[in-house]
Structure 1
Amino acid sequence: MKKKQKSSLKNRALSQTAVLIIVTMCIMVTVFYMVFHSRAFNERGKYEEENLVNMEAYLNSYLEEVDSIAKNVNYNYYLQDYLETVIKEEDDYVDSGIGKNMRSYEMSSQAFSDTLLSRADISSIMIFGKKKMLLNRSMYTYQKVALDYSKLDWYAKAVAKPQDAIITGPNRHSFFDTDDEVISLSREVQSYENGTFRGVILINLNMNKITEICNSFQEKQENFICIINDKGELVYEQQNGRERFAFDEKENRQKLNTELGKTKESCFRLNYRGEKYLVTRTGMKTTGWILVSMVPYKSVMAETMAISGVMILAVVITLIVTLLLLNRILTGVVKPLKKLEKYMVQVNPDNMDQRMEILTDDEIGHLSMKFNQMMDRIRNLKEQVIEEQEDKRKYELQALQAQINPHFLYNTLDSIIWMAETNDSNIVAMTEALAKLFRISLNKGNEEISLERELEHVKNYLIIQSMRYADKFTYEISAEPGVERCRTIKLILQPIVENCIYHGIKKKRGTGKITIRAYRREQNLIIEVSDDGCGMPEEICRKILSDEIESENISGSGIGVKNVNERIQLRFGKKYGLSYSSEEGVGTTVTYVLPYNEGGSI
């Protein structure tokens, strides 16, 4: 039982409105936060991605500029002539004499000195033949080291792809007396006449220019930029005076590479050292490098949090103003309702004629009008219920009165007298069947009966009729095991069977058959009464249970089909009752649908 609410209508309205506003505003703030949160990250991701794409363009332009220096070697006549000479001498390798070394030095100075002097980003320019270094101009001291240059990564790739510039690094070359890391650009030198091999040029770049380009794209101090090569090695890490990300350490770099390998998205989120970051990346096709930008979540969400705070403040102010206005409005609404309440108290079950005076044409006036209509409806329903109860008792009385059909009784007694006079042996069976028929019909005045006794009742009726109409029909009664215990109302089969005899079998030539079958279907008891008599038109079949056709048969029981159907529906409800199916010249089937009830009262 629900607990009765003690608070007033106004207080409940105020509290429920407050809850509704708070819930609505919370949903709005949550939705706004989620949408703005997603939008903020998407927009920042797009900004960082565009930033990286521009940085990629600058880096590509820079590397193309360096590559143009390497390409110029292919068009330097004097340098080509020198390389052609020394390449031929490589097969007869001996220590270079002073003259040859001087010539190499002069050629290197002539070809590369101006480039080194004018560019702080190039640390060395070198040309290697098949077995040894041919030209060298470097800020580092060259050390003669026994190396198979063809096994070095930058050399092998340049020979394998003679038309491309090969970018490798960071590198530490063993033939220099320094541990400085450099970015190397290598390219095969070819003869401008026939494209034959003239060597491999190696241009080593320090990080000055790359750092300058990357720093120019760091407009906000909170973001961090790094470059990872195709081997997962750190090419560049931004230094801006704050705590370093330390991607030069293997463990930290492996964590970043693992996250980069997990997703193909250009933007994703990363937990690093206990803080969340928005990571944006883009790839350089020419170098295989990955440009990475990392922005802390807190900096991306700063604007979102500020706007969320303003919205929460707006919600609080809106709630206070709304409740104040609502309190004033409800006071004006509740006051006439209280007057209406006092008037309605006068209505009680003993005073159903009480009516309310309609004072206004607003909702309260409409409520008063609806109350008056409700009282009229209650009175009408009360009268209708009384009338239906009287109809029900009338149908029950008709059923009791129809238990003994005088016409049927007279005919049966005449048959018994005739059998007695002719000493017919069937007189005992007919008399016994008649006695059982009346005993079950009376049923001690009870309306309820088991299906077993109802079937026995109709069987006795069929025994009597089959004796009266010898050789006119046969019958068969069957019931699914267990359904005999089902409870129903009495005298619902005999009127239908009587119709089968008088309107179906009797008009047929030859012997007919009546079949009665009972079975269970889910929670329903189904009884089918079929005959193979003359049948009826489909139109009559549809109308037989309505008022359009009088279903009371002249020589029948007096109850009729419509009476049986109404008794069933009065007792069990409109979803139960009879249905007809018939075909002229074939026969008729009447189907009962009843509730399945094995025990107790119905």
Structure 2
Amino acid sequence: MKRMVYEFFGKLKIKNKILCFCLPFIVISDIIILSITAVMFRQLKNMVYDQTEQNITEKSNLLNSTFSNYDQATTKFLYYSDEVQEYLHTEQRVMDEDSFNSLISRISFNINSLLMNSQPSIMNVCLFNKYNEIYINNAIYVKTIEQTEKYASVLQNETSNMHGKLIVSQNPFHRNMITLSRNVYVPELERSNEKIGFLMLDISKNDLTNLLRPTERADAISIVLTDESKNILINASQMSDKQCADIIKDQKGKRYQVKHNILDYGNCEVIGIINEKVLFYDTNRSFWMELGLIFLAILITILAIYFTGNMIAGQLHAFMQKLNQTEEIDKNSYIHMHTQDEFKELSDSYNGLLSRIDTLIHTVYIKEILLKEAQMESLQAQMNPHFLYNTLDCINSLARQGESDKVNKTITSLASILRMSVKGQPFLTVEEDLKYIRQYIYIQKIRFQYKIIFLVEIPESIYQFYIPKLVIQPIIENAVIHGISKIKGTGMIAVEGWEDDNSIYLEVKDNGIGIPDSVIRKIDQIDAHDHIDFKTRDNHIGIFNIQQRIRLMYGNEYGLHIRQLLPAGSSVVVRLPKILTPKKRDDNIDDTDP
């Protein structure tokens, strides 16, 4: 079976192979995406619906809390006020005028306190005592009093089963108000069933309507307050009372969902009517748009795979043909693709690889030439007749003076410097290089006596790092020959060192005549791959050589930074990378000291 599959695919062209291999994965991935989208759509709808239900529940709790505040306020007003209790137990018909006015004044004060402490504002307060005598806080006509007493008698029958608890009713005379009513009983346990009064509060619907109005998605959510008979007391929706009543009564249509929340007062309900078509309109539209985009993406992907397979096959054939024809690196070996796809990047990478190989060959060749050239230049500089004459003359003077120890040390130092210049590995530790620097300084001190003062201050923390040899000593030699030797006073040369996170720095400072600005500019402009004819440099050969070698080894961010010092002298800072493992030279030279 496996063999038959391989034989089948082996007969197909690359574009058909790509299509056959990719199509099943595309179909499977799209099925997974569709499944995930359907699940996410369902979860999103559930989340939106749960948030909507939570919004309705919060409105119910808020209205319940408002009625509870009225309940507590009226309880405090009725049972914890001596004036109100006195009013409820006093028969007004037998009172003289002064006593009656005094009682009415005191009861008015308590009612005003009730009005001030209740929100939304109470519009009217009607209080009946045990003798069914009425007190109303607002001035009304006799006919209205008769209507109020008749309405109160109806409410008293409804509240008789609630035993002092508030009930909520629609005020038949004012459509913009609802009435909160409760019976008043003797505040004593053994007489708790004895009725002594009746209270009615007319509440404005506006504040309660604003309280119930949805804070978001008002186009999809309708909230109403109904009484025990499902009559709408407050409508905080964009629909009419009749529309809301029909939906609540029918509850058969799939377009609406009705959520009931029973309040603690008067068997009232806060009913939320959810228009699912409006609520999920954006969600459904996003789902169908996403579904359409998925099917469109499937079609586009299949077409793209087919056309891409054709193009890849042609480009791959041209690319392989060019590779097979390449035998050496020349201008004909580079590949030029006239597209902007991965084959263009592949051809650029291939061309870049050829360029790097060619550059590497040239770089390695130049590096070896520069290293040998540096060794020969340094040897020539160290062995020039003037240097050797002065050194040997110093040795001769020391010998005549019987300074055999100094003669021996001078000869040893000279031999060590010459041997280091032409033999050994191309890298030394800072500590090893410092040893040769001190030997060179010792010879120069013998030569110039007290004319030169040398200071060396390099921290031991950078001793273990490796640096190319013949870097610091030629800079010191340049300072001696071209700087200190040409001044009349005492010269001073200081060698300092420090480090940062990635580099070490070695600085040579002197108070000589300084390096000319023209030379500083030329040294600073040296690039790693510049060709420099050192034979044309009659001065400062060593510094040009060092700059070229360091930038060739490590890049143009490393090398020499030269500046002139005031009032006289120069500073040469050498920046080198931190290297703990030296590069080995592939030869068998014996580096043992003689």
The reply to whether TM is greater than 0.5 is yes
Q: CA deviation at 1:504?
A: 2.2
Q: Distance in 1 between matches of 2:520 and 2:335?
A: 54
Alignment partner of 1:464 is 2:443: yes
Question: Within 2, Cα distance between the matches of 1:437 and 1:356?
Answer: 49
Partner of 2:525: 546
After TM superposition, list the pairs within 5 Å mapping 1:187-266 onto structure 2: 211-214=231-234, 216=241, 218-219=244-245, 220-221=247-248, 222-224=257-259, 233-235=264-266, 237-238=268-269
Map 1:260-299 to 2 at 5 A.
Answer: 294=272
Deviation at 1:400, TM superposition (A): 2.1
Aligned with 2:153 (options 123, 126, 136) = 123
User: Which residue among 370, 373, 377 is the counterpart of 1:402?
Assistant: 377
SS at match of 1:514: strand
Q: After TM superposition, give the deviation of residue 561 of structure 1 in Å.
A: 0.5
Match for residue 531 of structure 1? 510
Residues 41 and 287, structure 2, Cα contact 8 Å, conserved in 1 = no
Q: Is the 8 A contact 2:483 2:510 kept in 1?
A: yes
Letter in 2 for 1:237: C
Q: Give secondary structure in 1 for the equivalent of 2:153.
A: strand
Letter aligned with residue 570 of structure 1: L
Q: Which digits, 9 at most, give the CA deviation of each residue in 1:490-549, with x for residues without a partner?
A: 111111001111222223331121111233333322212111223356665444333599
After the TM superposition, which residues 372-391 of structure 1 pair with which residues of structure 2 at under 5 Å, given as runs?
A: 379-391=354-366
Secondary structure of 2:449's match? Answer: coil
**Equivalent residues in 2 for 1:415-426, closer than 5 Å:** 415-420=394-399, 426=406
State how 1:50-89 maps to structure 2 within 5 Å: 87-88=97-98
Deviation readout 1:447-490 (Å, 9 max, x if unpaired):
12222221111211111122222221111223312432322221
Distance 2:284 2:314 in 1: 47
Q: In the comparison of the two structures, how many residue pairs are matched?
A: 445
| Structure 1 residues 325 and 493: alpha-carbon distance in aligned structure 2, compared to 1, 3 A threshold | closer
Residues 1:321 and 2:306 aligned together: no
Q: Which residue of 2 aligns with 1:172?
A: 183
The corresponding residue for 1:508 is 487
The gaps in structure 1 that reach 5 residues or longer are: 1-5, 54-81, 94-103, 126-137, 143-151, 155-165, 188-205, 239-291
Closer/same/farther in 2, CA of residues 392 and 178 from structure 1, 3 Å limit? same
**Structure 2 residue matching 1:172: 3-state secondary structure:** strand
The alignment status of 1:592 with 2:588, answered yes or no, reads no
Q: Is the 8 A contact 1:434 1:460 kept in 2?
A: yes
| Structure 1 residues 30-179: aligned runs within 5 Å | 87-88=97-98, 121-123=151-153, 169-174=180-185
- Identify if the C-alpha distance between structure 1 residues 118 and 225 changes in structure 2 by more than 3 Å, giving closer, same or farther: farther
- In the alignment, is the contact (CA less than 8 A) between 1:433 and 1:464 conserved in 2? yes
The offset of 1:392, in angstroms, is: 0.7
Asked if 1 retains the 8 angstrom alpha-carbon contact of 2:57 and 2:261, the reply is no
Q: What's the secondary structure of 1:526's corresponding residue?
A: strand
The verdict on how the C-alpha distance between 1:184 and 1:210 changes in structure 2, with shifts beyond 3 A counting, is farther
Equivalent-residue separation in structure 2 for 1:106 and 1:384 (angstroms):
115
| Change in CA separation of 1:295 and 1:578 when aligned onto 2, cut-off 3 Å | farther
Distance 1:438 1:327, change over 3 A: closer
For residues 476 and 305 of structure 1, the distance between their equivalents in structure 2, rounded to whole angstroms, comes to 81
Contact persistence 1:578–1:592 (CA under 8 A): yes
Measured at CA, do residues 532 and 327 of structure 1 come closer, stay the same or move farther in structure 2, by a change above 3 Å?
closer
RMSD across aligned C-alpha pairs, in angstroms?
5.8
Distance 2:344 2:102 in 1: 122
Map of 1:431 onto structure 2: 411
C-alpha distance in 1 between matches for 2:132 and 2:413? 141
Q: 1:207 to 1:18 in 2, by over 3 A?
A: closer
**Residue in 2 aligned with 1:346?**
324
Q: Deviations over 1:19-77 (max 9, x none)?
A: 997899899999999999999999999999999x9xxxxxxxxxxxxxxxxxxxxxxxx
Percent identity of paired positions between Structure 1 and Structure 2: 19
Q: Is the 8 A contact 2:228 2:268 kept in 1?
A: no
- 1:589 shift after superposition: 1.8
Shift of 1:214: 4.0
Of residues 395-404 and 337-346 in structure 1, the stretch that sits farther from structure 2 once superposed is: 337-346
Question: In the aligned structure 2, how far is the partner of 1:419 from the partner of 1:432?
Answer: 14
Of 544, 552, 562, the residue aligned with 1:562 is: 544
- C-alpha spacing 1:385/1:438, structure 2 compared with 1 (3 Å): same
AA at the equivalent of 1:123: S
Cα gap change, 1:83 to 1:588, in 2 (>3 Å): farther
Distance in structure 2 (CA, Å) of the matches to 1:116 and 1:580: 112
User: What CA deviation, in whole Å up to 9, does each residue of 1:78-132 have, x standing for no partner?
Assistant: xxxx979754466999xxxxxxxxxx99999x9868765699754279xxxxxxx
3-state DSSP of counterpart to 1:574: coil
Q: Is the 8 Å Cα contact of residues 315 and 343 (structure 2) preserved in structure 1?
A: no
Question: Per-residue deviation at 1:429?
Answer: 3.7
Residues 1:185 and 2:162 aligned together: no
| Distance (whole Å) between structure 1 residues aligned to residue 99 and residue 534 of structure 2 | 128
C-alpha separation in 2, matches of 1:380 and 1:106: 112
Deviations 1:139-178 (A, max 9, x none): 7999xxxxxxxxx999xxxxxxxxxxx9984523338989
Aligned-partner Cα distance in 2 for 1:363–1:210? 75
SS at match of 1:346: helix
DSSP 3-state at the match of 1:485 = coil
Residue 243 (structure 1) aligns with: none
* Matched letter for residue 184 of structure 1: M
Is the 1:534–1:587 contact (alpha carbons within 8 Å) kept by the matching residues of 2?
yes
Paired residue for 2:253?
A: none
Find the residue that maps to 1:402 and give its secondary structure: helix
Contact 1:533 1:586 in 2 (8 A): yes
Cα offset, 1:388, TM superposition: 1.7
CA drift at 1:563: 0.6
CA distance in 2: counterparts of 1:527 and 1:141, whole angstroms: 101
SS where residue 445 of structure 1 aligns? coil
Q: Give 1:234's aligned amino acid.
A: Y
Matched, 1:579 2:561: yes
Aligned CA distance change for structure 1 residues 479 and 139 (closer, same or farther; 3 Å): closer
Considering fraction of residues, name the structure with more helix: 2
Deviation at 1:581, TM superposition (A): 2.4
Which residue of structure 2 lines up, in the alignment, with residue 452 of structure 1? 431
Q: Do structure 1's residue 393 and structure 2's residue 368 form an aligned pair?
A: yes
SS in structure 1 of the partner of residue 184 of structure 2: coil
SS at match of 1:499: helix
Task: Decide which moves more: 496-505 or 319-328.
Answer: 319-328
Q: Tell me how far apart the structure 2 counterparts of residues 13 and 347 of structure 1 sit (CA, whole Å).
A: 33
Deviations 1:569-588 (A, max 9, x none): 22333332221122242332
Find out whether 1:480 has 2:459 as its counterpart.
yes
